[in-house]
Structure 1
Amino acid sequence: MKNIWSILVLLAVLTTSCAVIRQGEVGVKSRFGKLSPNVSDAGLVGFNPFTSRVIKVPIRTVNQEVKLNLPSKEGLTIESEISILYSIEKQQVPFILEDVGENYERVLILNVFRSAAADVTAQYMAKDMHSGMRSVIENNIKDRMHESLRDRGFVVERVLMKSIELPTELSRAIERKLKAEQEAQQMEYVLDREKQEAERRRIEAEGTRDAQKILAEGLVREIIELRSIEAFRELANSPNTKIIITDGKTPYLINSPEK
């Protein structure tokens, strides 16, 4: 019985003196509050539970979503939801824990983000945050954050403005403007189509006029007489009985009734 209790105590000590570091994490030992400069990779890490502990820090990409009211250039307040994608350089983890602490996200990253976001959006109109300028604003915020955080071991990968809620009156004004632009484009399309149709009709009329002009100029007296002679020849070769009245120039044919 005594041996069983000894085994159980030994197992309990072994269990509490080991930490499991998962993939995408690193561990740093803290002994009597002093951080080790060494970083432990994924796996099983042993430590003395009476004097030490292992602080686990993710080094994979972290997605932090923030709801924030942003200022615009014209002084409006824009409600937004923004995602910050960042990661931590592995070798910088001990220094981050020593300088900032385990709450580095709340203490450092979010505060830097709020400052950078406000500085950037204050340079743009509210409508720009709801248009093609959004990606420019996102990149500017990311660059501002990266400039402030890169020396501390943080890598800001992306800043994504997931949702932007403009003031009601501004949203309506933008919708009216977009609708007017669409109507103007539709009218321009209709006018272009009408112009093309008018041009087609003009070209067709000119072609008909030129053809009539050429035909009229070609019907001179000699050609008419030639056509009359050809008509007489065809009538003469015809086996049918007919009556021809002519002045010698143009024939007038009267068909005799068939028997």
Structure 2
Amino acid sequence: MDRLPKIGIPLIILFIALVILISKSAVTIGSGEAGVLYKTFGGGVVTDEPPLGEGFQLVWPWNKIFIYEVRQQEVYEKMTVLSSNGLEIKIDASAWFQPKYESLGKLHQEKSEEYVSRILLPAIRSSARSVVGRYTPEQLYSSKRDAIQEEIFEETSKIVDKQYIQLNEILVRDVALPPTIKEAIERKLRQEQESLEYEFRLEKAEKEAEKQRIEARGKADANRILSASLTDNVLKDKGIEATLKLSQSQNSKIIVVGSGKDGLPIILGNQ
């Protein structure tokens, strides 16, 4: 009976040690995350194996797991860059990105968990300065926003693709010009619009006048042809035809042949 406590105490100690060991070794990786394993006595960061996936993971207590979000993420950036003529342009942009899953170990080893601030944001700023520097404020304000968005995306992708970062999209949300430049551009655009409207009205009036001239010429030509074709004999024939048609009417009438002007019949009746 005296030996039972002596056996029970080591078992309790072993159980407590086992619980501590499991608590130190167990790691839960959440949804949309992955883990990079660091082996303290085994060469450091593991780069030749896939990252640890979601769920419950057991590692030796002297090793570590660094957890990364591998879903698409968004980062915002406000920049001041120069246009082609040296004016300051403020750009409000955001980037959709995610770390390359299979290269997560190398990303952690070479760039660390601060890869967004160390790699991605500097690459976006550099690309934005390069792209915006090719355009004038007028181009940026009016028609080139989609173009600079695509060009910033392409140039940033070339930089970060080699740094184990997958860039999915660059969105230029706003391009802000100096107030005086913006007012001057808007005034110029209004003047151009008014000029285009005036030219349109002139062109429309000219087309309408040309239409009326064509119609007038057509009527004049028709009248001239008709006048040339109406000889005395033709008029007499037309008159005779009309008289014959009237004579066939049921209304009572008197026809005097050869008593009208030019020898045409005269029709007298009570209707």
Normalised to the residue count of structure 1, the TM-score between the two structures is 0.82
The answer to which of 3-12 and 132-141 deviates more is 3-12
State the match for 2:35 in structure 1: 27
State the match for 2:145 in structure 1: 134
For residues 114 and 175 of structure 2, the distance between their equivalents in structure 1, rounded to whole angstroms, comes to 28
Change (3 A) 1:81 1:233: closer
Q: Does 1:36 align with 2:36?
A: no
1:218 is displaced (CA, Å) by 1.7
Contact 1:243 1:256 in 2 (8 A): no
For residues 247 and 114 of structure 1, the distance between their equivalents in structure 2, rounded to whole angstroms, comes to 100
State the match for 2:162 in structure 1: 151
What is the letter of the counterpart of residue 56 of structure 1? I
State the match for 2:26 in structure 1: 18
Change (3 A) 1:4 1:81: farther
What's the C-alpha RMSD, in Å, of the aligned pairs?
3.1
1:168 is displaced (CA, Å) by 0.6
State the match for 1:240 in structure 2: 253
State the match for 1:46 in structure 2: 58
| Among candidates 161, 164, 188, match of residue 172 of structure 2 | 161
Contact 1:66 1:83 in 2 (8 A): yes
Change (3 A) 1:125 1:4: farther
For residues 49-128 of structure 1, what are the structure 2 equivalents within 5 Å?
49=61, 51-128=62-139
Q: Percent identity?
A: 24
1:41 is displaced (CA, Å) by 1.6
State the match for 1:200 in structure 2: 211
Q: Which runs of 5+ in 1 are unaligned?
A: none
What is the letter of the counterpart of residue 231 of structure 2? V
1:4 is displaced (CA, Å) by 9.3
For residues 203 and 159 of structure 1, the distance between their equivalents in structure 2, rounded to whole angstroms, comes to 57
For residues 163 and 244 of structure 2, the distance between their equivalents in structure 1, rounded to whole angstroms, comes to 110
For residues 104 and 248 of structure 2, the distance between their equivalents in structure 1, rounded to whole angstroms, comes to 114
Q: Which runs of 5+ in 2 are unaligned?
A: 1-8
Contact 1:29 1:55 in 2 (8 A): yes
Change (3 A) 1:130 1:16: farther
SS in structure 2 at match of 1:124 = coil
Change (3 A) 1:150 1:237: closer
| Among candidates 263, 266, 269, match of residue 249 of structure 1 | 263
